[in-house]
C-alpha cells in the first residue's frame, strides 16, 4: 500500500481500503492507518466498493429536487419532522454565528417512529421515517441503496481502525448494532454570482462531526479545508475515485482522545462560487440505545499518548450516546426544537441560544 501526495506540500494521504482483502497487505495497511488516524485524522480512501452509478443516481435525484421551486422543496421541510429529517433552506443554519450558504436534505435510516413517553429519553425521537419529495419519486430508492453501501464501507473502516489500535475489530460494535442512527446528507452550495453576496462564501463554518466517522464524497468544485495542529488551514481538493474520511467526536471519546475529531470547514473562493457545489457526507453515528460510549481498551503505550477528549465550551462532549447525538440537532434546527421539544427550546432560549447554530 502506498500513501500518495496530491497537490503540493500540504497533501492529505490516500489509502486503499481494498488492501484489507489481501492477506499480504493487511499488516501494512493497519500500520499506515494508525499513523494517519493519530497524526493527520483526515485522509482519502480508494477501494471503498461504493458503486459510482448508484452514487450518481442519488446525486441526480438530489439535483432534480434542488431545482424545484422553493415552496415545493419546503413541503418536506425539516421543520415538519421531530426526527430531524428533511430539507433545510439556504442560510437557515449558522456555524459560529455566521450563516452557512447551503441547502440540504437530511436522510437517516428508514425506520418506523417509536412511541416516546414523557419519561423516556428524548433522543429516542431520532428514530423514525424520512420525508421524501413527491416530485422526485426516484429519490427514496436511490438514497437508501447508496446509504447502505456507504454504511458497509464505513463499518469496514471502523473495524480496521480497531485492529490498527491493537484491539478486537468489534470493540465498538455495540455502538453500531441494534437500531442504527447513521445518516446521509446531500448538500447543495448554490452558485453565488452577485458581487453584493460576497459575504456568502461560508459554505459551512469551522466544526467537528458528532458521529464515529464521516465518509464524504465531493464534486470537483473544491472548498473543503482542514485545520492542522499548527492552526493553519489546508485544502482538501477532490480526487477522482476517492472519499474523504474524518474522525468524529464519538471515536474521540471512545479512545480518550488518542484519536481526535478534526475541525474542518467549507469556504467558497469567489472564482469557484460562481457555480454550484454538491457534496454527500455520510455519518456513521451511534445507536441511541447504546447508552454510554465505551472506552477502547488501548495498550499502555497508546494510553500514555491519549490526551483526553478536547474541550470546547461552545461544543461540550458527552459520553452519553443519545445526549451527544441530539445536542447539535436541537441547536441547529430551532424551529423543530420549538415545535416538538418545548422544554429544551425554553432552556436554549434562556441560555441565549436564539439562532440555528450547532456552535
Measure the CA–CA gap between 156 and 152, rounded to whole angstroms. Answer: 6
Class of CATH domain 15-350: mainly beta
Give the three cell numbers for residue 121.
429519553
Which residues contact residue 206 at a Cβ distance below 8 angstroms, ignoring those fewer than 6 apart?
95, 96, 227, 263, 264, 265, 359
Q: How confident is the model at residue 10 (pLDDT cuts 50, 70, 90)?
A: very low
Q: At 89, is the secondary structure helix, strand, or coil?
A: coil
pLDDT of 203: 60
Residue among 92, 87, 90 nearest 135 (CA): 87
Measure the CA–CA gap between 239 and 13, rounded to whole angstroms. Answer: 11
Per-domain boundaries in the chain: 15-350
pLDDT of 270: 55
- 356 near 331, Cβ under 8 Å? yes
Measure the CA–CA gap between 324 and 283, rounded to whole angstroms. Answer: 14
pLDDT, tens only, 85-131: 999 998 776 665 566 788 999 999 999 999 999 899 999 999 999 99
Largest CA distance in the chain: 59
Q: How confident is the model at residue 16 (pLDDT cuts 50, 70, 90)?
A: very high
pTM, 2 dp: 0.91
Place of cell 451527544: 324
Measure the CA–CA gap between 198 and 325, rounded to whole angstroms. Answer: 34
Q: How far apart are the first and last CA of the chain?
A: 38
pLDDT of 23: 93
pLDDT of 262: 86
Contacts by 324-327, CB closer than 8 A, 24 or more apart: 324/210, 324/249, 324/250, 324/253, 324/286, 324/293, 325/123, 325/126, 325/181, 325/210, 325/285, 325/286, 325/288, 326/122, 326/123, 326/126, 327/210
Mean pLDDT taken over the chain? 86
Amino acid at each position: 500500500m502506498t500513501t500518495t501526495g496530491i497537490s503540493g506540500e500540504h497533501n492529505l494521504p490516500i489509502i486503499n481500503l481494498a488492501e484489507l482483502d489481501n492477506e499480504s497487505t493487511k499488516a501494512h495497511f493497519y500500520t499506515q492507518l494508525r499513523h494517519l488516524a493519530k497524526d493527520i485524522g483526515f485522509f482519502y480512501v480508494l477501494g471503498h466498493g461504493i458503486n459510482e452509478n448508484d452514487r450518481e443516481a442519488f446525486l441526480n435525484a438530489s439535483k432534480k429536487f434542488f431545482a424545484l421551486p422553493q415552496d415545493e422543496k419546503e413541503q418536506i421541510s425539516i421543520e415538519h419532522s421531530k426526527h430531524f429529517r428533511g430539507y433545510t433552506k439556504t442560510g437557515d443554519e449558522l456555524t459560529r454565528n455566521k450563516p452557512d450558504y447551503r441547502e440540504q436534505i437530511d436522510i437517516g435510516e428508514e425506520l418506523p417512529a417509536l412511541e416516546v413517553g414523557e419519561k423516556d429519553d428524548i433522543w429516542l425521537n431520532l428514530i423514525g421515517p424520512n420525508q421524501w419529495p413527491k416530485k422526485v419519486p426516484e429519490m427514496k430508492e436511490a438514497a437508501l441503496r447508496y446509504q447502505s453501501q456507504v454504511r458497509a464501507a464505513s463499518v469496514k473502516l471502523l473495524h480496521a481502525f480497531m485492529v490498527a489500535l491493537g484491539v478486537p475489530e468489534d470493540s465498538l460494535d455495540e455502538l453500531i448494532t441494534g437500531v442504527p442512527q447513521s445518516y446521509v446528507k446531500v448538500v447543495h452550495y448554490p452558485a453565488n454570482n452577485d458581487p453584493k453576496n460576497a459575504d456568502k462564501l461560508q459554505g459551512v463554518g469551522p466544526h467537528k462531526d458528532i458521529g464515529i466517522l464521516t465518509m464524504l464524497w465531493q464534486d470537483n468544485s473544491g472548498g473543503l479545508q482542514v485545520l492542522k495542529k499548527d492552526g493553519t488551514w489546508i485544502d482538501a481538493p477532490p480526487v477522482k475515485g476517492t472519499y474523504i474520511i474524518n474522525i468524529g467526536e464519538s471515536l474521540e471519546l471512545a479512545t480518550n482522545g488518542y484519536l481526535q475529531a478534526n475541525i474542518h470547514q467549507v469556504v467558497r473562493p469567489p472564482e469557484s462560487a460562481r457555480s454550484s457545489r454538491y457534496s454527500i457526507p455520510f455519518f456513521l453515528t451511534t445507536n441511541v440505545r447504546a447508552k454510554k460510549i465505551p472506552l477502547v481498551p488501548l495498550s499502555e503505550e497508546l494510553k500514555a499518548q491519549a490526551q483526553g477528549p478536547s474541550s470546547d465550551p461552545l461544543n461540550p462532549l458527552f459520553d452519553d450516546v443519545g445526549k451527544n447525538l441530539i445536542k447539535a440537532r436541537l441547536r441547529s434546527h430551532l424551529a423543530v426544537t420549538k415545535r416538538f421539544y418545548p422544554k429544551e427550546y425554553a432552556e436554549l432560549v434562556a441560555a441565549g441560544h436564539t439562532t440555528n447554530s450547532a456552535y
